[in-house]
Structure 1
Amino acid sequence: MRIMNGHRAIDLSSKTRSVRLEDIGAQVEVRRHPGARRLTLRVSRTRRAVIVTLPLQCDLDEAGTFLNRHIDWVRARLDSLPNHVPFEHGAAMPLRGVPHAITFTGNKRTRLISINARQSGRPTIIVPGDEECAPKRLTRFLFDEAKRDLTVSVAKYARPLAVKATRIAIRDQTSRWGSCSTTGALSFSWRLVLAPPFVLDYVAAHEVAHLLEMNHGPNFWALVKKICPEFETAKQWLQVLGPDLHRYGPAHGESAA
Protein backbone atom coordinates (compact mmCIF):
# COMPACT_ATOMS: atom_id res chain seq x y z
CA MET A 1 0.00 0.00 0.00
CA ARG A 2 1.27 3.47 -0.85
CA ILE A 3 -0.01 6.52 0.98
CA MET A 4 0.37 9.74 -0.96
CA ASN A 5 1.22 12.61 1.34
CA GLY A 6 1.69 15.82 -0.61
CA HIS A 7 4.22 14.88 -3.30
CA ARG A 8 5.59 11.94 -1.39
CA ALA A 9 4.41 8.33 -1.47
CA ILE A 10 4.83 6.21 1.64
CA ASP A 11 4.86 2.46 1.24
CA LEU A 12 2.97 0.34 3.75
CA SER A 13 3.83 -3.23 2.76
CA SER A 14 2.00 -6.18 4.22
CA LYS A 15 4.69 -6.39 6.91
CA THR A 16 4.54 -2.74 7.86
CA ARG A 17 1.85 -1.37 10.09
CA SER A 18 3.23 2.01 11.08
CA VAL A 19 4.87 4.93 9.26
CA ARG A 20 5.44 8.56 10.13
CA LEU A 21 4.06 11.36 7.98
CA GLU A 22 6.76 13.90 8.64
CA ASP A 23 5.07 16.97 7.17
CA ILE A 24 2.02 16.61 9.41
CA GLY A 25 4.02 15.32 12.38
CA ALA A 26 2.05 12.17 13.09
CA GLN A 27 2.42 8.42 13.18
CA VAL A 28 0.01 6.40 11.04
CA GLU A 29 -1.10 3.03 12.38
CA VAL A 30 -3.05 0.52 10.33
CA ARG A 31 -4.98 -2.07 12.34
CA ARG A 32 -7.09 -5.03 11.27
CA HIS A 33 -10.01 -5.81 13.57
CA PRO A 34 -12.25 -8.88 13.32
CA GLY A 35 -15.27 -6.89 14.50
CA ALA A 36 -14.81 -3.99 12.04
CA ARG A 37 -17.47 -3.78 9.32
CA ARG A 38 -16.02 -0.75 7.55
CA LEU A 39 -12.91 1.38 7.46
CA THR A 40 -12.68 3.94 10.24
CA LEU A 41 -10.25 6.75 10.93
CA ARG A 42 -9.44 8.53 14.16
CA VAL A 43 -6.73 10.74 15.63
CA SER A 44 -5.42 9.81 19.07
CA ARG A 45 -5.15 12.92 21.21
CA THR A 46 -2.82 11.27 23.72
CA ARG A 47 -0.34 9.80 21.24
CA ARG A 48 -0.80 12.21 18.32
CA ALA A 49 -1.25 9.22 16.04
CA VAL A 50 -3.53 8.63 13.05
CA ILE A 51 -5.24 5.24 13.37
CA VAL A 52 -6.88 3.48 10.43
CA THR A 53 -8.96 0.44 11.36
CA LEU A 54 -10.08 -1.96 8.65
CA PRO A 55 -12.02 -5.23 8.42
CA LEU A 56 -10.07 -8.46 8.04
CA GLN A 57 -11.12 -8.87 4.41
CA CYS A 58 -10.06 -5.32 3.46
CA ASP A 59 -6.71 -4.98 1.69
CA LEU A 60 -4.12 -2.37 2.57
CA ASP A 61 -4.53 -0.49 -0.72
CA GLU A 62 -8.06 0.41 0.33
CA ALA A 63 -6.73 1.76 3.62
CA GLY A 64 -4.26 3.96 1.75
CA THR A 65 -6.98 5.31 -0.53
CA PHE A 66 -9.25 5.91 2.46
CA LEU A 67 -6.57 7.87 4.31
CA ASN A 68 -5.69 9.95 1.26
CA ARG A 69 -9.36 10.83 0.78
CA HIS A 70 -9.57 12.18 4.34
CA ILE A 71 -6.08 13.69 4.66
CA ASP A 72 -7.46 17.24 5.02
CA TRP A 73 -9.67 16.10 7.90
CA VAL A 74 -6.62 14.46 9.51
CA ARG A 75 -4.57 17.65 9.21
CA ALA A 76 -7.41 19.70 10.73
CA ARG A 77 -7.73 17.34 13.69
CA LEU A 78 -3.97 17.33 14.27
CA ASP A 79 -3.87 21.13 14.08
CA SER A 80 -6.56 21.30 16.78
CA LEU A 81 -4.49 19.27 19.25
CA PRO A 82 -2.50 21.06 21.96
CA ASN A 83 1.17 21.39 21.08
CA HIS A 84 3.53 18.74 22.38
CA VAL A 85 5.85 20.03 25.13
CA PRO A 86 9.14 18.13 24.91
CA PHE A 87 11.51 17.83 27.83
CA GLU A 88 14.05 20.48 26.95
CA HIS A 89 15.87 23.37 28.56
CA GLY A 90 13.54 26.29 29.25
CA ALA A 91 10.32 24.32 28.83
CA ALA A 92 7.52 24.42 31.40
CA MET A 93 5.68 21.44 32.83
CA PRO A 94 3.46 20.62 35.81
CA LEU A 95 4.68 18.52 38.73
CA ARG A 96 2.08 17.46 41.29
CA GLY A 97 -0.21 20.08 39.78
CA VAL A 98 2.25 22.97 40.16
CA PRO A 99 3.87 24.59 37.08
CA HIS A 100 7.66 24.10 37.00
CA ALA A 101 10.41 25.30 34.69
CA ILE A 102 12.99 22.83 33.32
CA THR A 103 16.66 23.74 33.48
CA PHE A 104 19.41 21.62 31.93
CA THR A 105 22.61 22.80 33.62
CA GLY A 106 25.18 20.73 31.72
CA ASN A 107 27.00 20.24 35.04
CA LYS A 108 28.65 16.82 34.78
CA ARG A 109 29.98 16.76 38.34
CA THR A 110 26.62 15.60 39.67
CA ARG A 111 23.75 13.51 38.33
CA LEU A 112 21.25 14.25 41.08
CA ILE A 113 18.11 16.06 39.92
CA SER A 114 16.85 18.68 42.35
CA ILE A 115 13.93 21.09 42.62
CA ASN A 116 14.48 24.74 43.44
CA ALA A 117 11.27 25.80 45.17
CA ARG A 118 11.48 29.55 44.68
CA GLN A 119 9.77 31.91 47.08
CA SER A 120 8.52 33.94 44.14
CA GLY A 121 8.11 32.84 40.57
CA ARG A 122 7.96 29.34 39.16
CA PRO A 123 9.84 26.48 40.88
CA THR A 124 12.54 24.86 38.75
CA ILE A 125 13.47 21.25 38.07
CA ILE A 126 17.26 21.30 37.79
CA VAL A 127 18.66 18.51 35.62
CA PRO A 128 22.48 18.20 35.64
CA GLY A 129 24.74 16.10 33.42
CA ASP A 130 25.18 15.85 29.68
CA GLU A 131 22.38 17.85 28.05
CA GLU A 132 21.92 15.19 25.35
CA CYS A 133 20.92 12.66 28.02
CA ALA A 134 19.02 15.15 30.19
CA PRO A 135 15.52 14.37 28.77
CA LYS A 136 15.93 10.66 29.55
CA ARG A 137 17.30 11.49 33.01
CA LEU A 138 14.30 13.72 33.70
CA THR A 139 11.92 11.02 32.51
CA ARG A 140 13.51 8.46 34.80
CA PHE A 141 13.24 10.94 37.68
CA LEU A 142 9.52 11.38 37.03
CA PHE A 143 9.00 7.61 36.86
CA ASP A 144 10.70 7.29 40.25
CA GLU A 145 8.70 10.14 41.76
CA ALA A 146 5.46 8.59 40.48
CA LYS A 147 6.46 5.21 41.93
CA ARG A 148 7.18 6.80 45.30
CA ASP A 149 3.89 8.73 45.47
CA LEU A 150 1.80 5.81 44.24
CA THR A 151 3.41 3.32 46.62
CA VAL A 152 2.43 5.55 49.55
CA SER A 153 -1.07 6.16 48.18
CA VAL A 154 -1.76 2.49 47.41
CA ALA A 155 -0.71 1.47 50.94
CA LYS A 156 -2.97 4.18 52.41
CA TYR A 157 -6.05 2.92 50.59
CA ALA A 158 -5.26 -0.78 50.89
CA ARG A 159 -5.23 -0.72 54.70
CA PRO A 160 -8.95 -0.04 55.30
CA LEU A 161 -9.87 -2.74 52.77
CA ALA A 162 -7.39 -5.25 54.24
CA VAL A 163 -5.85 -5.95 50.82
CA LYS A 164 -2.34 -5.76 49.44
CA ALA A 165 -1.00 -5.28 45.93
CA THR A 166 1.45 -7.94 44.80
CA ARG A 167 3.37 -5.42 42.72
CA ILE A 168 3.26 -1.77 41.68
CA ALA A 169 4.56 -0.91 38.21
CA ILE A 170 4.93 2.48 36.54
CA ARG A 171 4.50 2.51 32.77
CA ASP A 172 4.11 4.87 29.83
CA GLN A 173 0.42 4.09 29.37
CA THR A 174 -1.71 6.16 27.01
CA SER A 175 -5.05 4.38 27.03
CA ARG A 176 -5.60 4.20 30.80
CA TRP A 177 -4.34 5.80 34.00
CA GLY A 178 -4.12 2.57 35.93
CA SER A 179 -4.90 -1.12 35.77
CA CYS A 180 -5.19 -4.13 38.08
CA SER A 181 -4.37 -7.69 37.06
CA THR A 182 -6.03 -10.83 38.37
CA THR A 183 -2.80 -11.57 40.27
CA GLY A 184 -3.10 -8.32 42.24
CA ALA A 185 -0.43 -6.38 40.33
CA LEU A 186 -1.19 -2.69 39.85
CA SER A 187 0.12 -0.59 36.96
CA PHE A 188 -0.03 3.18 36.67
CA SER A 189 0.85 5.90 34.18
CA TRP A 190 3.90 7.94 35.19
CA ARG A 191 2.05 11.07 34.11
CA LEU A 192 -0.09 10.91 37.24
CA VAL A 193 2.79 12.62 39.06
CA LEU A 194 2.14 15.66 36.86
CA ALA A 195 -1.43 15.95 38.17
CA PRO A 196 -2.52 17.38 41.53
CA PRO A 197 -2.04 14.84 44.36
CA PHE A 198 -5.79 14.33 44.89
CA VAL A 199 -6.00 13.03 41.29
CA LEU A 200 -3.16 10.54 41.78
CA ASP A 201 -4.80 9.46 45.06
CA TYR A 202 -8.10 8.77 43.29
CA VAL A 203 -6.48 6.56 40.66
CA ALA A 204 -4.64 4.65 43.40
CA ALA A 205 -7.91 4.16 45.30
CA HIS A 206 -9.66 3.09 42.08
CA GLU A 207 -7.12 0.34 41.39
CA VAL A 208 -6.98 -0.77 45.04
CA ALA A 209 -10.76 -1.26 44.94
CA HIS A 210 -10.25 -3.56 41.95
CA LEU A 211 -8.30 -5.90 44.22
CA LEU A 212 -11.71 -6.82 45.66
CA GLU A 213 -14.03 -6.06 42.74
CA MET A 214 -12.71 -6.69 39.21
CA ASN A 215 -15.54 -4.75 37.60
CA HIS A 216 -17.18 -1.32 37.64
CA GLY A 217 -20.43 -2.36 39.27
CA PRO A 218 -22.20 -0.73 42.25
CA ASN A 219 -20.13 -2.68 44.79
CA PHE A 220 -16.92 -1.42 43.20
CA TRP A 221 -17.95 2.23 43.31
CA ALA A 222 -19.13 1.80 46.90
CA LEU A 223 -15.62 0.64 47.80
CA VAL A 224 -14.06 3.62 46.02
CA LYS A 225 -16.36 6.03 47.85
CA LYS A 226 -15.62 4.33 51.17
CA ILE A 227 -11.86 4.92 50.92
CA CYS A 228 -11.89 8.07 48.74
CA PRO A 229 -15.14 9.98 49.46
CA GLU A 230 -14.32 12.94 47.16
CA PHE A 231 -13.42 10.76 44.18
CA GLU A 232 -15.96 12.39 41.84
CA THR A 233 -13.96 15.64 41.78
CA ALA A 234 -10.78 13.81 40.77
CA LYS A 235 -12.64 11.69 38.23
CA GLN A 236 -14.01 14.82 36.57
CA TRP A 237 -10.56 16.45 36.60
CA LEU A 238 -9.14 13.49 34.68
CA GLN A 239 -11.97 13.56 32.16
CA VAL A 240 -11.53 17.25 31.44
CA LEU A 241 -7.82 17.95 31.99
CA GLY A 242 -6.25 14.50 31.98
CA PRO A 243 -5.63 14.33 28.20
CA ASP A 244 -3.44 17.45 28.42
CA LEU A 245 -0.95 15.57 30.61
CA HIS A 246 0.02 13.61 27.51
CA ARG A 247 1.42 16.80 25.99
CA TYR A 248 4.49 16.47 28.19
CA GLY A 249 7.31 14.02 27.68
CA PRO A 250 10.38 13.18 25.63
CA ALA A 251 10.53 14.43 22.05
CA HIS A 252 8.43 12.48 19.55
CA GLY A 253 10.15 9.26 18.60
CA GLU A 254 11.94 8.88 21.94
CA SER A 255 10.80 6.26 24.44
CA ALA A 256 9.51 7.38 27.82
CA ALA A 257 10.30 4.01 29.37
Structure 2
Amino acid sequence: MISDGPETVAIASRQVTVCWRRSARARRISMRIDARSGHVILTLPPRARRDDALALLRSHSAWVVANLARIPQAPRWHDGGQVLIDGRPHVIRHCPQARRGVWIEGEVIHVSGEAAFLVRRLLAFLREEARTRLGAGLDALSRQAGLRPTRLTVRDTRSRWGSCTADGAIMLCWRLIMAPTEVQHYVMAHELAHLRHMNHGPDFWMLVDRLTPHRRMAELWLRREGATLLRDMQE
Protein backbone atom coordinates (compact mmCIF):
# COMPACT_ATOMS: atom_id res chain seq x y z
CA MET A 1 0.00 0.00 0.00
CA ILE A 2 1.32 3.44 -0.95
CA SER A 3 -0.09 6.47 0.82
CA ASP A 4 0.03 10.09 -0.32
CA GLY A 5 1.67 11.16 2.92
CA PRO A 6 5.38 11.90 3.29
CA GLU A 7 7.80 9.19 4.36
CA THR A 8 11.41 9.42 5.45
CA VAL A 9 13.82 7.31 3.39
CA ALA A 10 17.56 6.84 3.94
CA ILE A 11 19.76 7.38 0.87
CA ALA A 12 23.42 8.29 0.52
CA SER A 13 23.94 8.50 4.29
CA ARG A 14 21.14 11.00 4.78
CA GLN A 15 17.40 11.10 5.31
CA VAL A 16 15.13 12.49 2.60
CA THR A 17 11.37 13.03 2.68
CA VAL A 18 9.51 11.16 -0.05
CA CYS A 19 5.91 11.69 -1.15
CA TRP A 20 4.27 8.87 -3.09
CA ARG A 21 1.79 9.44 -5.91
CA ARG A 22 -0.25 6.96 -7.94
CA SER A 23 -1.31 8.17 -11.39
CA ALA A 24 -3.53 6.38 -13.88
CA ARG A 25 -1.92 8.43 -16.64
CA ALA A 26 1.68 7.59 -15.70
CA ARG A 27 3.40 5.13 -18.04
CA ARG A 28 6.57 4.77 -15.99
CA ILE A 29 7.95 5.64 -12.57
CA SER A 30 9.12 9.23 -12.41
CA MET A 31 10.88 11.34 -9.81
CA ARG A 32 11.15 15.06 -9.18
CA ILE A 33 12.19 17.47 -6.44
CA ASP A 34 9.51 19.78 -5.06
CA ALA A 35 11.44 22.99 -4.43
CA ARG A 36 8.61 24.39 -2.33
CA SER A 37 8.51 21.63 0.28
CA GLY A 38 11.98 20.11 -0.19
CA HIS A 39 10.40 16.69 -0.75
CA VAL A 40 11.15 14.06 -3.37
CA ILE A 41 8.00 13.23 -5.34
CA LEU A 42 7.80 9.68 -6.69
CA THR A 43 4.97 9.07 -9.17
CA LEU A 44 4.01 5.49 -10.02
CA PRO A 45 1.74 3.92 -12.64
CA PRO A 46 -1.17 1.95 -11.11
CA ARG A 47 0.63 -1.41 -11.09
CA ALA A 48 4.18 -0.28 -10.42
CA ARG A 49 5.91 -1.67 -7.35
CA ARG A 50 7.12 0.41 -4.44
CA ASP A 51 10.44 -1.45 -4.42
CA ASP A 52 11.07 -0.43 -8.03
CA ALA A 53 10.44 3.20 -7.16
CA LEU A 54 12.85 2.98 -4.23
CA ALA A 55 15.44 1.41 -6.52
CA LEU A 56 15.07 4.38 -8.88
CA LEU A 57 15.45 6.78 -5.98
CA ARG A 58 18.59 5.10 -4.68
CA SER A 59 20.16 4.75 -8.13
CA HIS A 60 19.88 8.54 -8.50
CA SER A 61 20.86 9.35 -4.92
CA ALA A 62 23.72 11.66 -5.94
CA TRP A 63 21.38 13.68 -8.16
CA VAL A 64 18.76 13.86 -5.41
CA VAL A 65 21.20 14.99 -2.73
CA ALA A 66 22.81 17.58 -5.03
CA ASN A 67 19.46 19.09 -6.02
CA LEU A 68 18.17 19.16 -2.46
CA ALA A 69 21.33 21.01 -1.45
CA ARG A 70 20.56 23.73 -4.00
CA ILE A 71 17.15 24.48 -2.50
CA PRO A 72 17.29 27.57 -0.28
CA GLN A 73 16.36 27.27 3.36
CA ALA A 74 12.67 27.77 4.09
CA PRO A 75 11.84 31.15 5.70
CA ARG A 76 11.38 30.90 9.45
CA TRP A 77 8.71 33.16 10.89
CA HIS A 78 8.90 33.81 14.63
CA ASP A 79 8.98 36.66 17.09
CA GLY A 80 12.00 38.77 16.22
CA GLY A 81 12.38 37.20 12.78
CA GLN A 82 11.74 38.90 9.47
CA VAL A 83 9.24 38.74 6.63
CA LEU A 84 9.55 40.49 3.27
CA ILE A 85 6.83 42.88 2.14
CA ASP A 86 7.39 44.59 -1.22
CA GLY A 87 10.95 43.29 -1.03
CA ARG A 88 11.71 45.11 2.24
CA PRO A 89 12.38 43.18 5.46
CA HIS A 90 9.86 43.76 8.23
CA VAL A 91 10.58 42.65 11.78
CA ILE A 92 7.97 40.30 13.25
CA ARG A 93 6.69 41.32 16.69
CA HIS A 94 4.45 38.90 18.56
CA CYS A 95 1.87 40.76 20.65
CA PRO A 96 0.02 38.02 22.58
CA GLN A 97 -2.22 40.41 24.52
CA ALA A 98 -3.29 42.52 21.55
CA ARG A 99 -6.65 42.08 19.83
CA ARG A 100 -5.88 43.74 16.49
CA GLY A 101 -5.04 40.67 14.42
CA VAL A 102 -2.03 41.59 12.26
CA TRP A 103 -0.97 45.12 11.41
CA ILE A 104 2.02 47.02 10.04
CA GLU A 105 3.72 50.00 11.66
CA GLY A 106 6.69 51.28 9.71
CA GLU A 107 9.05 48.35 9.15
CA VAL A 108 7.47 46.22 11.89
CA ILE A 109 4.63 43.74 11.44
CA HIS A 110 2.72 42.98 14.63
CA VAL A 111 0.95 39.67 15.17
CA SER A 112 -1.54 39.21 18.01
CA GLY A 113 -2.88 36.00 19.54
CA GLU A 114 -1.18 32.79 20.61
CA ALA A 115 2.34 32.04 19.42
CA ALA A 116 1.19 28.71 17.98
CA PHE A 117 -0.90 30.58 15.41
CA LEU A 118 1.68 33.19 14.43
CA VAL A 119 2.58 31.66 11.05
CA ARG A 120 -1.06 30.99 10.19
CA ARG A 121 -2.05 34.57 11.00
CA LEU A 122 0.84 36.00 9.03
CA LEU A 123 -0.04 33.88 6.00
CA ALA A 124 -3.67 34.98 6.09
CA PHE A 125 -2.64 38.62 6.43
CA LEU A 126 -0.17 38.48 3.55
CA ARG A 127 -2.67 36.74 1.27
CA GLU A 128 -5.19 39.51 1.92
CA GLU A 129 -2.53 42.19 1.44
CA ALA A 130 -1.61 40.53 -1.86
CA ARG A 131 -5.21 40.65 -3.06
CA THR A 132 -5.42 44.34 -2.21
CA ARG A 133 -2.01 45.52 -3.39
CA LEU A 134 -1.65 43.33 -6.46
CA GLY A 135 -5.23 44.04 -7.43
CA ALA A 136 -4.66 47.81 -7.23
CA GLY A 137 -1.38 47.54 -9.11
CA LEU A 138 -2.85 45.45 -11.91
CA ASP A 139 -5.83 47.79 -12.22
CA ALA A 140 -3.56 50.84 -12.50
CA LEU A 141 -1.30 49.23 -15.10
CA SER A 142 -4.18 47.84 -17.12
CA ARG A 143 -5.80 51.29 -17.31
CA GLN A 144 -2.50 52.79 -18.42
CA ALA A 145 -1.98 50.09 -21.05
CA GLY A 146 -5.58 49.94 -22.25
CA LEU A 147 -5.61 46.18 -21.63
CA ARG A 148 -8.42 44.98 -19.38
CA PRO A 149 -8.45 41.46 -17.96
CA THR A 150 -11.84 39.82 -17.49
CA ARG A 151 -10.99 38.98 -13.88
CA LEU A 152 -8.12 38.62 -11.44
CA THR A 153 -7.52 35.77 -9.02
CA VAL A 154 -4.73 35.63 -6.46
CA ARG A 155 -3.66 32.09 -5.61
CA ASP A 156 -0.85 30.06 -4.07
CA THR A 157 1.01 28.38 -6.93
CA ARG A 158 4.03 26.10 -6.85
CA SER A 159 5.84 27.28 -9.96
CA ARG A 160 4.11 30.12 -11.82
CA TRP A 161 4.19 33.73 -10.71
CA GLY A 162 1.25 34.47 -12.97
CA SER A 163 -0.84 33.23 -15.86
CA CYS A 164 -3.36 34.49 -18.40
CA THR A 165 -6.12 32.42 -19.97
CA ALA A 166 -7.54 32.68 -23.46
CA ASP A 167 -10.66 34.36 -22.09
CA GLY A 168 -8.60 37.13 -20.49
CA ALA A 169 -8.52 35.97 -16.86
CA ILE A 170 -5.27 36.75 -15.03
CA MET A 171 -3.91 34.86 -12.05
CA LEU A 172 -1.12 36.16 -9.81
CA CYS A 173 0.72 34.27 -7.09
CA TRP A 174 0.12 35.88 -3.70
CA ARG A 175 3.79 35.38 -2.80
CA LEU A 176 4.64 38.26 -5.12
CA ILE A 177 3.69 40.53 -2.22
CA MET A 178 7.09 39.61 -0.75
CA ALA A 179 8.98 40.57 -3.93
CA PRO A 180 10.10 44.13 -4.75
CA THR A 181 7.45 46.30 -6.36
CA GLU A 182 9.50 46.36 -9.57
CA VAL A 183 9.21 42.57 -9.77
CA GLN A 184 5.46 42.77 -9.16
CA HIS A 185 5.18 45.37 -11.92
CA TYR A 186 7.02 43.15 -14.38
CA VAL A 187 4.88 40.08 -13.67
CA MET A 188 1.72 42.15 -14.11
CA ALA A 189 3.01 43.58 -17.39
CA HIS A 190 3.95 40.09 -18.56
CA GLU A 191 0.44 38.75 -17.98
CA LEU A 192 -1.27 41.83 -19.41
CA ALA A 193 0.79 41.47 -22.58
CA HIS A 194 -0.70 38.01 -23.00
CA LEU A 195 -4.10 39.63 -23.47
CA ARG A 196 -2.79 40.73 -26.86
CA HIS A 197 -0.23 38.01 -27.62
CA MET A 198 -0.89 34.49 -26.29
CA ASN A 199 2.71 33.46 -26.96
CA HIS A 200 6.27 34.55 -26.17
CA GLY A 201 7.17 35.81 -29.61
CA PRO A 202 9.01 39.06 -30.49
CA ASP A 203 5.81 41.15 -30.50
CA PHE A 204 4.96 39.90 -27.03
CA TRP A 205 8.33 40.91 -25.58
CA MET A 206 8.21 44.28 -27.32
CA LEU A 207 4.89 44.94 -25.62
CA VAL A 208 6.22 43.81 -22.23
CA ASP A 209 9.14 46.23 -22.58
CA ARG A 210 6.72 49.05 -23.42
CA LEU A 211 4.63 48.28 -20.35
CA THR A 212 7.47 48.03 -17.82
CA PRO A 213 11.10 49.19 -17.53
CA HIS A 214 11.85 46.48 -14.95
CA ARG A 215 12.03 43.34 -17.08
CA ARG A 216 15.77 42.63 -16.83
CA MET A 217 16.02 43.43 -13.13
CA ALA A 218 12.90 41.39 -12.30
CA GLU A 219 13.96 38.33 -14.29
CA LEU A 220 17.35 38.33 -12.55
CA TRP A 221 15.77 38.80 -9.11
CA LEU A 222 13.30 35.96 -9.66
CA ARG A 223 16.09 33.63 -10.80
CA ARG A 224 18.13 34.43 -7.70
CA GLU A 225 15.48 34.83 -5.03
CA GLY A 226 12.24 33.38 -6.37
CA ALA A 227 12.81 29.86 -5.08
CA THR A 228 13.02 31.16 -1.51
CA LEU A 229 9.59 32.80 -1.78
CA LEU A 230 8.09 29.52 -2.98
CA ARG A 231 9.29 27.56 0.05
CA ASP A 232 6.72 26.67 2.69
CA MET A 233 7.13 28.91 5.71
CA GLN A 234 8.22 27.51 9.06
CA GLU A 235 7.96 28.66 12.65
**Cα shift at 1:182:** 2.2
Q: What is the deviation of 1:106?
A: 0.8
1:23-38 correspondence to structure 2 within 5 Å: 24=15, 26-30=17-21, 32=23
Within 5 Å, give how 1:16-165 maps onto structure 2: 16-21=3-8, 24=15, 26-30=17-21, 32=23, 39-53=29-43, 58-71=48-61, 73-111=63-101, 113-117=102-106, 123-165=107-149
Query: Counterpart amino acid of 1:104?
Result: H
Q: Could you tell me which residue of structure 2 aligns to residue 191 of structure 1?
A: 175
CA contact (8 A) 2:72 2:227 kept: no
Q: What code does the residue aligned with 1:103 have?
A: R
Letter in structure 2 aligned against 1:115: I
Q: What is the root-mean-square deviation of aligned Cα atoms in Å?
A: 2.8
Asked if structure 2 preserves the Cα contact closer than 8 Å seen for 1:180 and 1:187, the reply is yes
**Alignment deviations for residues 85-112 of structure 1 (CA, whole Å, 9 cap, x no partner):** 233223222221111221221124332x
Structure 2 unaligned runs (5+)? none
Structure 1 residues without counterparts, runs of 5 or longer: 1-11, 118-122, 252-257
- Provide the TM-score with structure 1 as the length reference: 0.77
CA distance in 2, matches of 1:57, 1:25: 24
Q: Residues of 1 paired with 2:82 and 2:18: CA distance?
A: 25
Alpha-carbon deviation of 1:177?
0.5
CA distance in 2, matches of 1:85, 1:239: 17
Structure 1 segments (4+ residues) deviating >6 Å: none
Structure with greater contact order relative to length (CA < 8 Å, sep ≥ 6): 2
Is 2:26–2:44's contact at 8 Å kept on the other side of the alignment? Answer: no
Q: Is the 8 A contact 1:84 1:248 kept in 2?
A: yes
**Paired positions, count:** 231
Contact 1:154–1:204 (Cα < 8 Å) also in 2 = yes
Q: Is the 8 A contact 2:22 2:46 kept in 1?
A: no
Give TM-score scaled by structure 2 length: 0.83
TM-aligned CA deviation for residue 33 of structure 1: 8.5
Secondary structure (helix, strand or coil) at the match of 2:93 reads strand
CA distance in 2, matches of 1:41, 1:218: 35
